[in-house]
Amino acid sequence: MAQVLGPHPRLLIPSVEALDQIAKPAVPAHRGLPVGIPPFISTTEQDWTLNAFCRRHGWKIWLKGPYYDAVQVNWWPSFLSLRTAFQATWGTEKLFLQAHVRGLEESISFSAYQGRLLDVVHMVKRDITPEGKTWGGRIDDPVPEFLNPLRAIVKELNWSGGAELEMIRNPAGELWLMEINPRFPAWIHGATIAGRNLAGRLVEAASGIAMSEAVPQSNEFARIVLEMPVRAGYPIPPLQEPMNGSQLHSGKYPSGMPMLAHRLHALRSRSVPASVPLEAAPSVATVPASFIKDILGADLDNVETPSRILLPSTAAHSFAQLAEAARAASSPACEVRAAYSIKTNPDERLIKMAYDVGFLAEAISELEVGKALEVGFLPEQVILNGPAKAWPSQARSRPVHAIFCDSLDELRQVVQRAVGGEELAEIIGVRLRGPQLISRFGIPVVSREIFYDMIGLLRALPQHFRIGCHFHIASSNFGIGQWWRLYDSSLRCAKAIESCTDRAVECVDIGGGWFPDDFENDLMPKLGDAIRQAREALPSLRTFVLEPGRAMVQHSMAVAMRVLEVRRFQGVPQDIVVDGSIAELPLAWQFPHRILQRDHKSGEWQPMARGPARILGRLCMEDDIVAPNVQLRADITEGQLLAICDAGAYESSMAYTFGRGKSNGL
């Protein structure tokens, strides 16, 4: 209406310019108000960047549409399917992701005419429906720190009409603005019950006719449901039959909002205000320069595809960088060691790289220990971790560096053997399972009985064994903030172990589970502080261990594949089928992978951007989709080479033989 009818004395709505100033998610008009805007990112960014945003905010993320609609996404595959549904419902790719804010909802609603603030109330929700709609609330006056800037904003925007600012107050008491809606909220009559007739004030200002004052009855209101007769001749249309089995997202909006949105986009594409960040051009895909350098060195013209290729300088850089950081963080009192998790990728070349730069080896089975020894590690350079270590045939001439026990029963077994004189390891430790952790691993120290038994066993351990504590959660799933909170609580638990056993905890091992970018950008810069914190908590700490797998090697390999078939529709490539598959990329659906394509004329490798096309695998399986959203070049041809990057961790160790005419060898 603002666009089509423009300013009109009887139209009690804000102007197009004012509406642009309240556009989600940036809400430019909020400046001056004592509110923050939760971090957000446009989904037009590359998937690699979107995934990093989600990890950074602990996978407590909302996917939101341009006008309506918000769903919580808690892992990558659900984001992918919800993004597709939202794009179809709202007819646009310009959606955004926003970090979750923990807290309780409140609102400010106001009424204004031609830039003059007429009345304003503050409403704190007291009851909500399962969809979060207000079902009861308390009405108060807004505080002056809110009122004064709001008055200035209303003036600046020359606002006419009603409005609601939807906010969340976090446990620290800070307000976060979700959105400003250019209309009265559905609960507005609740304000009238409190003696504040906002709608009346607006009509009064516009018409000059005095409104009847609202009588204050209570400053709290509750909503009720009312059945009412339907007028004969105007029946309610029958319900739509739900689509059998399929969940049509737009079915949530019987009001026709999605249809209106599709039309609005057609309108807006003619008059797009440059200020709205959602209209930004799609970002470009990039990969680190070392990927291309390493792939150029692989002579792929003479390689049978699909083929996993090592990116040697990329891999070596990660190992060297961590080795150097560990050396720099070490002190005479406390040594910092990195241990390579063999299971993540047992390729000998990678284990050798770890060995060469001075890592320890971390093994979860006797076969892995054998592999480490084969590459050159000594027993005292091996850490045994994972569940249940009483593997057969583990007669070793020398003790290993450390054993971490995953359960009380295992600890009992290990302590018994130690008491019996076996020199199992220099360090005997426990893997801790913290209070809020849902995990099958570690000793659940939240139980007083279990903690008590653990202390008893550790006290019985002969004095010459050193005691260690280990914890491990995947920050890539739980989020970085959660990881650091767990680090904190693990140190407190280790401290409790010290005071209860009367023995020093001399080793802390923080496990793996890091996405390479987070390891480099978050953990590494904070490593010095983390070690200081550990030494403060545990003054006798002598060894601090990191056990990265994924962080070292995820980017160390790519899978090269060739295009077998280009499927076109009206000349435009829609899908390609390649000779690779999810058998070589078993986690293709779990996180985004950067993809390179080789230009068949220049031979140059270029990053593939996100787009509407798919890369389909060679297998006769419904879920064999190597990449669901890529931009294909118009001149893509059969035989062209692709390299799916970020395939060097579990993509490699968990790959399987399927559709190759081979049995799997077990």
Ligand X SMILES: *Cc1c(COP(=O)(O)O)cnc(C)c1O
Known catalytic residues?
620
Which range binds ligand X by CB under 6 A, 119-127, 156-164, 512-520, 633-641?
512-520
Closest separation in Å from C-beta 129 to ligand X:
40
Task: Report, in Å, the least distance between residue 468 CB and ligand X.
Answer: 12
Angle (CA) 656 657 659, round 5°: 130
Site string for ligand X, 551-590 (x = CB under 6 A): x---------------------------------------
Q: Nearer to ligand X by C-beta: 305 or 475?
A: 475
Of 450 and 587, CB closest to ligand X: 587
**Contact between 511 and ligand X per CB under 6 A:** yes
Burial of 152 (0-12, 13-18, 19+ CB in 10 A): middle
**Of residues 46, 385, 407, 475, which one binds ligand X by CB under 6 A?**
385
Cβ proximity to ligand X: between 205 and 350 the closer is 350
450 versus 474: smaller Cβ distance to ligand X: 474
Please give the structure tokens belonging to residue 566: 């280009």
Max CA distance (Å), the chain: 98
Q: Considering beta carbons, is residue 74 or 439 the nearer one to ligand X?
A: 439
Tell me which amino acid residue 262 is. H
Q: Which amino acid does the sequence have at 528?
A: G
* Shorter beta-carbon distance to ligand X: residue 161 or 549: 549
State which of residues 107, 341, 597, 640 lies at the interface with ligand X (CB under 6 A).
Answer: 341
Give residues 529-548 in contact with ligand X (rule: CB under 6 A). Answer: 547-548
At its nearest, how many Å lie between ligand X and the CB of residue 441? 8
Rounded (10°) angle between helices 448-460 and 480-501? 60
Report residue 387: phi and psi, to 5°: -80, 150
Numbers of helices and strands, H then E, in the chain: 20, 27
CB proximity list for 274: less than 8 A, separation 6 or greater: none
By CB under 6 A, name the one of 308, 343, 433, 618 that touches ligand X: 343
Backbone angles phi, psi at 402, to 5 degrees: -150, 150
Closest contact distance (angstroms) between CB of 380 and ligand X is 18
549 binds ligand X (CB under 6 A): yes
For ligand X, the binding residues in 150-179 under the rule CB under 6 A are none
Query: For strand 61-64 and strand 443-444, is the pairing parallel, antiparallel, or unpaired?
Result: unpaired
Q: Find how far residue 53's CA is from the centre of its chain.
A: 6
| Closest by CA position to 558, among listed 273, 307, 216 | 307
Q: CB count, 10 Å around CB of 248?
A: 12
Q: Rounded to an integer, what distance in angstroms lies between the CA atom of residue 20 and that of residue 22? A: 5
Q: Which stretch binds ligand X (CB under 6 A): 161-169, 341-349, 372-380, 483-491?
A: 341-349
Count of residues in the chain: 666
Give the one residue of 512, 592, 628, 648 binding ligand X; rule: CB under 6 A.
512
Query: Using CB under 6 A, which residues numbered 359 to 378 contact ligand X?
Result: 362, 364
Shortest separation between residue 653's beta carbon and ligand X, angstroms? 9
Please say whether the beta carbons of 115 and 157 come within 8 A. yes
Minimum distance of ligand X from residue 515's CB (angstroms)? 9
Rank residues 338 and 493 by Cβ distance to ligand X and give the closer one: 338
Q: How far apart are CA 383 and CA 360, in angstroms?
A: 7
Kindly indicate which of the ranges 63-71, 233-241, 505-513, 558-566 contains the residues binding ligand X, using the contact rule CB under 6 A.
Answer: 505-513
- Taking residue 99's Cβ as centre, other Cβ atoms within 10 Å add up to 17
Contact at 8 Å (CB) between 303 and 560? yes
Specify the 3-state DSSP secondary structure of 257.
helix
> Which span (110-118, 120-128, 509-517, 590-598) binds ligand X, by CB under 6 A?
509-517
The reply on whether position 442 binds ligand X by CB under 6 A is: no
Sign of the alpha-carbon dihedral angle for 580, 584, 589, 590: negative
- Token pair, residue 456, equals 């008893």
Q: Could you give the count of Cα atoms lying within 13 Å of 591 in the half-sphere of its Cβ?
A: 22
| x/- track of binding to ligand X for residues 595-634 (CB under 6 A) | ----------------------------------------
Could you tell me which stretch among 95-103, 280-288, 484-492, 511-519 binds ligand X (CB under 6 A)?
Answer: 511-519
What is the closest distance, in whole angstroms, from the C-beta atom of residue 551 to ligand X in the complex? Answer: 6
Q: Which stretch binds ligand X (CB under 6 A): 276-284, 299-307, 478-486, 506-514?
A: 506-514
Locus of tokens 């990890």: 55
* Among positions 161, 185, 513, 580, the unique one binding ligand X when judged by CB under 6 A: 513
- Single residue of 55, 56, 389, 550 touching ligand X by CB under 6 A: 550
The distance of Cα 554 from the centroid of its chain, to the nearest Å, equals: 17
**Site residues (vs ligand X, CB under 6 A):** 341, 343-344, 362, 364, 385-386, 472, 474, 511-514, 547-551, 649
